[in-house]
Every structure is written in C-alpha cells, then in structure tokens.
C-alpha cells in the first residue's frame, strides 16, 4: 500500500493470573514502507514484552547516521542527548550486512537483534560474521497469516489479543482469526534453533 498511514493498535495481553494488561501502540507507516515491515516491528515489540527493557518503537534517535526500528537505552531516565547508552538495537526486515557489521563493531556492549521471516533469514546469513553480538531472530509466518495481520491493522480500531505467550511462541487473536507465530534464534553458524521450548 504506497500511502502513508497512521495505525493505532490496541494490544491486550492475557496474564497468567487471569488478569489482562493492555497498551496502545501508534505506528506511522511511511509512503514507501511495506506492511510486512510494520508487522515485524510489532512482533519484535511483542517478543520483548515480558522483559524489563523499555523499548521505543520508531524512535527519532540516530547513531552514526543509522536509525533503529526499535531501541532501548541502558538508562532510560537520562536524556538521549546526554548519554545515549544503547541496551538493545532492533532492525526489522531488509538490512544491509555492512550496517549490522558496523553496529556490531561500535555497539559491542549492546544487544543487536535483526528480525525477518525465518526462511529468508536462513538463506541470507550464509557467511555472516561468526563472532558477533548480532542476534538473528527468524519469524515463522506464512502468507495467509501475514495477510490476516495486515488486514487487521487496516481496520477502523485494530485490536490484537495475545492469548498464549512464551518467549518463542505467541498466539494473536484478531477480530476474525487466530494466528500462531513462532520465533527462532538463528545461531552464529546459520542453523535454526527454537528458543524457550
């Protein structure tokens, strides 16, 4: 969809104690941005939901001319202009290997994560740096599920209910469907390995 778009998504998390937690996330789609990129950013946010990291989606922040899709700072209470100590840097979808290598070199004490579709990630990483702080996270999502998530985001008031959540798996209920998503950590030698199962 080659038009800019502002998406206001309500995410409802079902907690183990029977209670619910909800938050509203606003995503602004640029004219040239794909819906897959938007979906991967939201899935990356969900992947870290139970962690203590305060992720910022689509930050204005830049480092060495690069802009992350999501970022968390080690000391979020300190203004970024004063001390931008990066805890996690997240890239989604297409990214140049040279960019990841640069980030790995200059942000050696940070966690760098790259999210993409699992089958694409596995193919692209042959020959990638063996020793790096870049974590490749493949997302298992077929075309049908991608289309269902895309359509749900384009509705008037989109809601995603997260009904089943583990670090490597989550189930998203939209208005008309239920979608299972699997995350895979791809190790430094290029083989796939499920995390948390």
What is the third-level CATH fold of 5-194? Answer: Restriction endonuclease-like alpha-beta roll fold (3.10.640)
Q: How many CB atoms lie within 10 A of CB 2?
A: 7
With vertex at residue 58, the alpha carbon angle to CA 131 and CA 61, rounded to the nearest 5 degrees, is 75
8-state DSSP, 155? S
Could you give the CA distance from residue 28 to residue 6 in angstroms, rounded to a whole number? 4
pLDDT reported for residue 119: 81
What length does the chain have? 197
Q: Each residue's pLDDT tens digit in the chain (197 positions)?
A: 566 789 999 999 887 777 888 999 999 988 889 999 999 999 999 998 877 778 999 988 888 889 999 999 988 666 555 557 899 999 999 888 889 889 988 998 999 999 999 888 766 655 555 567 888 899 999 999 999 999 999 998 999 999 877 778 899 999 889 999 999 887 543 333 433 33
The pTM of the full predicted model, rounded to 2 decimals, is 0.87
**Residue 107: C-alpha distances to residues 16, 64, 134 (Å):** 36, 11, 10
With vertex at residue 137, the alpha carbon angle to CA 21 and CA 182, rounded to the nearest 5 degrees, is 60
* 75-127: pLDDT as tens digits: 866 655 555 789 999 999 988 888 988 998 899 899 999 999 988 876 665 55
């Amino acid at each position: 969809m080659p038009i800019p778009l502002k998406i206001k998504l309500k995410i409802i998390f079902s907690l183990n104690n029977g209670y619910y937690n909800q938050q509203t996330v606003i995503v602004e789609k640029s004219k040239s941005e794909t819906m897959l990129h938007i979906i991967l950013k939201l899935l990356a946010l969900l992947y870290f939901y139970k962690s203590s990291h305060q992720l910022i989606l689509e930050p204005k922040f830049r480092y060495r001319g690069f802009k992350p899709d999501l970022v968390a700072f080690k000391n979020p209470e300190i203004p970024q202009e004063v001390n931008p100590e990066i805890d996690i840097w997240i890239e989604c979808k297409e990214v140049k290997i040279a960019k990841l290598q640069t980030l790995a070199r200059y942000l050696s004490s940070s966690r760098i994560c790259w999210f993409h579709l699992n089958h694409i990630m596995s193919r692209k990483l042959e020959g990638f740096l063996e020793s790096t702080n870049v974590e490749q996270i493949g997302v298992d999502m077929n075309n049908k599920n991608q289309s269902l998530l895309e359509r749900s985001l384009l509705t008037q008031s989109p809601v995603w209910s997260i009904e089943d959540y583990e670090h490597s798996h989550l189930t998203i209920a939209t208005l008309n469907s239920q979608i299972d998503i699997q995350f895979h950590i791809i190790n430094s030698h290029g083989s796939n390995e499920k995390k948390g199962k």
